[in-house]
Amino acid sequence: MNDSDMQTQAASEKETDPIPIDEVARRLGVRASAIRYYEERGLVQPVSRRSGRRWYGPAEIRRLAIIQYWQRTGLMSLEEIGDILAGPAATRGWAHIVQERVDTLRRQAERMNAASDYLEHVLSHHRDSPPDGCHHYESRILHMPLTTVGTDLPGEPLRPSRSGSAGR
Protein backbone atom coordinates (compact mmCIF):
# COMPACT_ATOMS: atom_id res chain seq x y z
CA MET A 1 0.00 0.00 0.00
CA ASN A 2 1.51 3.36 -1.01
CA ASP A 3 1.21 6.71 0.84
CA SER A 4 -1.69 7.89 -1.32
CA ASP A 5 -3.70 4.70 -0.61
CA MET A 6 -3.02 5.03 3.12
CA GLN A 7 -4.15 8.67 3.10
CA THR A 8 -7.35 7.75 1.23
CA GLN A 9 -8.06 4.91 3.65
CA ALA A 10 -7.39 7.18 6.67
CA ALA A 11 -9.69 9.87 5.23
CA SER A 12 -12.51 7.40 4.60
CA GLU A 13 -12.13 5.94 8.11
CA LYS A 14 -12.31 9.47 9.55
CA GLU A 15 -15.55 10.14 7.64
CA THR A 16 -17.14 7.10 9.28
CA ASP A 17 -15.83 7.84 12.77
CA PRO A 18 -18.58 8.97 15.14
CA ILE A 19 -18.72 12.71 15.84
CA PRO A 20 -19.72 14.26 19.18
CA ILE A 21 -23.06 16.04 19.43
CA ASP A 22 -21.58 19.54 19.70
CA GLU A 23 -19.65 19.07 16.45
CA VAL A 24 -22.73 17.64 14.69
CA ALA A 25 -24.76 20.63 15.91
CA ARG A 26 -22.12 23.05 14.62
CA ARG A 27 -21.93 21.36 11.21
CA LEU A 28 -25.71 21.32 10.79
CA GLY A 29 -26.26 24.78 12.23
CA VAL A 30 -28.58 23.65 15.01
CA ARG A 31 -28.35 23.64 18.77
CA ALA A 32 -27.31 20.46 20.52
CA SER A 33 -30.54 20.75 22.53
CA ALA A 34 -32.51 20.39 19.27
CA ILE A 35 -30.66 17.15 18.51
CA ARG A 36 -31.37 15.88 22.03
CA TYR A 37 -35.04 16.80 21.51
CA TYR A 38 -35.10 14.82 18.23
CA GLU A 39 -33.67 11.91 20.18
CA GLU A 40 -36.36 12.31 22.84
CA ARG A 41 -38.99 12.19 20.08
CA GLY A 42 -37.45 8.98 18.69
CA LEU A 43 -36.33 10.56 15.41
CA VAL A 44 -32.62 9.78 15.80
CA GLN A 45 -30.38 7.82 18.16
CA PRO A 46 -26.67 8.31 18.78
CA VAL A 47 -24.43 5.43 17.76
CA SER A 48 -22.76 5.56 21.15
CA ARG A 49 -22.29 7.49 24.36
CA ARG A 50 -18.88 8.12 25.78
CA SER A 51 -18.40 9.86 29.11
CA GLY A 52 -22.01 11.04 28.91
CA ARG A 53 -21.59 12.57 25.42
CA ARG A 54 -23.66 11.49 22.46
CA TRP A 55 -21.77 10.47 19.32
CA TYR A 56 -23.30 10.24 15.84
CA GLY A 57 -22.20 8.38 12.73
CA PRO A 58 -22.77 9.30 9.08
CA ALA A 59 -26.22 7.65 8.91
CA GLU A 60 -27.46 9.56 11.96
CA ILE A 61 -26.01 12.84 10.68
CA ARG A 62 -27.71 12.26 7.32
CA ARG A 63 -30.98 11.57 9.16
CA LEU A 64 -30.59 14.81 11.13
CA ALA A 65 -29.96 16.70 7.90
CA ILE A 66 -33.12 15.16 6.40
CA ILE A 67 -35.15 16.18 9.47
CA GLN A 68 -33.87 19.74 9.15
CA TYR A 69 -34.52 19.85 5.43
CA TRP A 70 -38.08 18.60 5.75
CA GLN A 71 -38.82 21.00 8.57
CA ARG A 72 -37.46 23.96 6.62
CA THR A 73 -38.72 23.21 3.14
CA GLY A 74 -41.59 20.81 3.61
CA LEU A 75 -43.21 22.61 6.49
CA MET A 76 -43.73 19.28 8.22
CA SER A 77 -44.30 18.62 11.86
CA LEU A 78 -41.87 16.39 13.72
CA GLU A 79 -44.63 13.81 14.04
CA GLU A 80 -45.08 13.71 10.25
CA ILE A 81 -41.32 13.53 9.76
CA GLY A 82 -41.11 10.66 12.24
CA ASP A 83 -43.91 8.77 10.47
CA ILE A 84 -42.26 9.23 7.08
CA LEU A 85 -38.79 8.29 8.32
CA ALA A 86 -40.19 5.18 10.01
CA GLY A 87 -40.98 3.86 6.55
CA PRO A 88 -43.80 1.73 5.18
CA ALA A 89 -43.01 -1.31 7.32
CA ALA A 90 -43.26 0.61 10.61
CA THR A 91 -46.23 2.88 10.02
CA ARG A 92 -49.62 1.66 8.90
CA GLY A 93 -50.99 4.01 6.28
CA TRP A 94 -47.49 5.29 5.43
CA ALA A 95 -48.31 5.86 1.74
CA HIS A 96 -51.43 7.79 2.78
CA ILE A 97 -49.37 9.98 5.13
CA VAL A 98 -46.86 10.75 2.39
CA GLN A 99 -49.56 11.40 -0.24
CA GLU A 100 -51.47 13.65 2.16
CA ARG A 101 -48.32 15.69 2.76
CA VAL A 102 -47.70 15.96 -1.01
CA ASP A 103 -51.28 17.19 -1.52
CA THR A 104 -50.94 19.71 1.31
CA LEU A 105 -47.71 21.06 -0.15
CA ARG A 106 -49.34 21.41 -3.57
CA ARG A 107 -52.22 23.41 -2.07
CA GLN A 108 -49.74 25.60 -0.19
CA ALA A 109 -47.76 26.20 -3.38
CA GLU A 110 -50.94 27.13 -5.26
CA ARG A 111 -51.87 29.67 -2.57
CA MET A 112 -48.36 31.11 -2.57
CA ASN A 113 -48.42 31.42 -6.37
CA ALA A 114 -51.81 33.18 -6.21
CA ALA A 115 -50.49 35.59 -3.57
CA SER A 116 -47.44 36.27 -5.73
CA ASP A 117 -49.69 36.95 -8.74
CA TYR A 118 -51.74 39.45 -6.70
CA LEU A 119 -48.63 41.27 -5.53
CA GLU A 120 -47.16 41.34 -9.05
CA HIS A 121 -50.41 42.92 -10.28
CA VAL A 122 -50.17 45.56 -7.56
CA LEU A 123 -46.56 46.32 -8.53
CA SER A 124 -47.26 46.51 -12.25
CA HIS A 125 -50.55 48.48 -12.10
CA HIS A 126 -50.53 50.40 -8.83
CA ARG A 127 -47.03 51.71 -8.22
CA ASP A 128 -48.31 55.17 -7.31
CA SER A 129 -51.57 54.32 -5.58
CA PRO A 130 -53.14 51.57 -3.47
CA PRO A 131 -55.06 48.84 -5.30
CA ASP A 132 -58.38 49.83 -3.65
CA GLY A 133 -60.92 50.40 -6.39
CA CYS A 134 -59.10 48.34 -9.02
CA HIS A 135 -61.77 46.13 -10.59
CA HIS A 136 -59.29 43.39 -11.60
CA TYR A 137 -57.59 43.27 -8.19
CA GLU A 138 -60.78 43.42 -6.13
CA SER A 139 -62.63 40.83 -8.23
CA ARG A 140 -59.76 38.37 -7.67
CA ILE A 141 -59.56 39.14 -3.95
CA LEU A 142 -63.34 38.83 -3.46
CA HIS A 143 -63.29 35.33 -4.95
CA MET A 144 -60.15 34.17 -3.17
CA PRO A 145 -60.87 31.47 -0.57
CA LEU A 146 -60.17 32.34 3.03
CA THR A 147 -58.01 29.94 4.99
CA THR A 148 -57.13 29.73 8.61
CA VAL A 149 -53.50 30.70 9.08
CA GLY A 150 -51.32 27.61 9.34
CA THR A 151 -53.93 25.18 8.05
CA ASP A 152 -54.95 23.92 4.66
CA LEU A 153 -58.69 23.99 5.15
CA PRO A 154 -60.61 25.65 2.36
CA GLY A 155 -62.45 28.74 3.47
CA GLU A 156 -65.35 30.75 2.17
CA PRO A 157 -64.86 33.38 -0.51
CA LEU A 158 -64.77 36.94 0.75
CA ARG A 159 -68.04 38.76 0.18
CA PRO A 160 -68.66 42.45 0.71
CA SER A 161 -70.91 43.10 3.69
CA ARG A 162 -73.70 45.68 3.60
CA SER A 163 -71.31 48.30 4.98
CA GLY A 164 -68.99 47.66 2.03
CA SER A 165 -66.19 46.01 3.99
CA ALA A 166 -65.27 42.39 3.39
CA GLY A 167 -66.70 39.81 5.75
CA ARG A 168 -68.01 36.26 5.97
Task: Give the model's pLDDT for residue 72.
Answer: 85
Say if residues 159 and 167 touch (Cβ distance below 8 Å).
yes
Per-residue model confidence as pLDDT tens digits over 11-24: 444 568 999 999 99
User: Domain check: are 54 and 99 in the same one?
Assistant: no
Give the domain-ending residue among 58, 86, 114.
86
Of 31-45, 84-98, 106-120, the range with the lowest mean pLDDT is 84-98
pLDDT of residue 15: 65
Last residue of a domain, one of 51, 86, 121: 86
In a domain, 77, yes or no: yes
- Give the domain extent around 146: 94-159
Residue 5 to residues 9, 10, 16, 17, 90, Cα–Cα distance (Å): 6, 9, 17, 18, 41
Per-residue pLDDT of 52-101, as tens digits, reads 999 999 999 999 999 999 888 867 889 889 988 888 888 778 888 889 88
